Amino acid sequence: MFDWLRSMTEGLDAVPWTETFPQMPDMLLPVFDGVTGILLLIALPLFCLELVRLCAKRRLTRRRGSGMLTSAFCFVPATVVEVLLGGALVGVFFWVGSLSPWTIPSNWATAALCLLLVDFAYYWEHRLGHEVNLLWSLYHSVHHSADHFDQTVALRVSFVDFFFSPLIYLPLVFAGFHPFLVFACYGLLLAWQQWIHTELVGRLPPLDPWLNTPSNHRVHHARNAQYLDKNYGGMLMVWDRLFGSYASENEAVDYGLVEPLVSRNPLAVHFHVSAKLVRTLASAPSLGAALRWLIRRPAPAPYLRTALATASRISEPRKAATMRPRTPWKPMSKRSNRTPPITAPTTPTKR
């Protein structure tokens, strides 16, 4: 699985800064490779079982099927960008690593430490993707736009993700970890999150408080008010419990965005939230307000909330004055079929 990394870096052997990293144990990367491959292979039987379950419950509708296809199509541009620019990313990681004043030897103990730190970095990268409006609008909202939850949702990712997410792990390379080890830990982390996109596995009480299980990830994809912005961890729920973002699955989950996306068009999935962001920035009263809006939580902008509230206050009395109460329709009896006589209006007498 990591052969593509090695093939991309074959030409780097002659570059002086690639010699700063010590040789890794022979079995280290193959073990990571094998575990990652097993986790990814689990997705295929899970997907088949999900289809059987949907058919048995008559829930495999045309809309559900088109949603699955949309998720698969979203994965295509992300894969193309990764293939075209993956070599450049590897080069950047090796270059940053060469700037480190020391190197950390690669062994099983440091590999476990690296995996723990990658998971910690992923927690904050994931949390920033939810809590910084620019990141949410540009790429992470794509993953949460599905109104269902199955193995295909893990494929619903934005190609923009490639340009930001890897940067979070550069400090680990600068700290002295081998770039290949960081990539291996990150790949294992992503592979773990593939199989947890399922409704087939219920709650796992011994594991749910500590690991990212299907139950915990269902909560993360929910738009229920009590579930919003919860369970950011990649493999561990330890960070969520430490930083107050953990929630257990206690009631039925409603999936998708707070403002649901009806379209199944992959272009709409990729760009509908970012288009809203552009419109909001265009209506900002000042450059400072626009910049503050980029880094704040995804929510209606303050000036938009004020404008909407003002408009509603103005329109409600006008609406109430112009609307006439509807009287319930009643069938006319045979005796009342004739037109009632017209009487002259009476004028009120002055007192």
What's the mean per-residue pLDDT of the chain? 84
Summarised one tens digit per residue, pLDDT across range 141-170 is: 999 999 999 999 999 999 999 999 999 999
Q: 115 and 186 in contact (C-beta within 8 Å)?
A: no
What are the sequence ranges of the domains in the chain? 29-242
Q: 179 and 21 in contact (C-beta within 8 Å)?
A: yes
Question: What's the whole-model pTM score?
Answer: 0.81
| Whole-angstrom distance, CA of residue 77 vs CA of residue 23 | 34
Summarised one tens digit per residue, pLDDT across range 294-303 is: 999 987 655 5
Round to the nearest angstrom and report the end-to-end CA distance of the chain. Answer: 98
| Whole-angstrom distance, CA of residue 319 vs CA of residue 3 | 67
pLDDT given for residue 299 in this prediction:
73
Q: 24 and 110 in contact (C-beta within 8 Å)?
A: no
Summarised one tens digit per residue, pLDDT across range 21-72 is: 667 777 888 999 999 999 999 999 999 999 999 999 999 999 999 999 999 9
| Whole-angstrom distance, CA of residue 226 vs CA of residue 206 | 22
Place of tokens 């949702």: 153
Place of tokens 């575990």: 35
Residue 206 DSSP code: T
Local confidence band at 189 (pLDDT 50, 70, 90 cut-offs): very high
Residue 225's φ and ψ, nearest 5 degrees, are -60, -40
Which tokens hold the place of 187? 């790949």
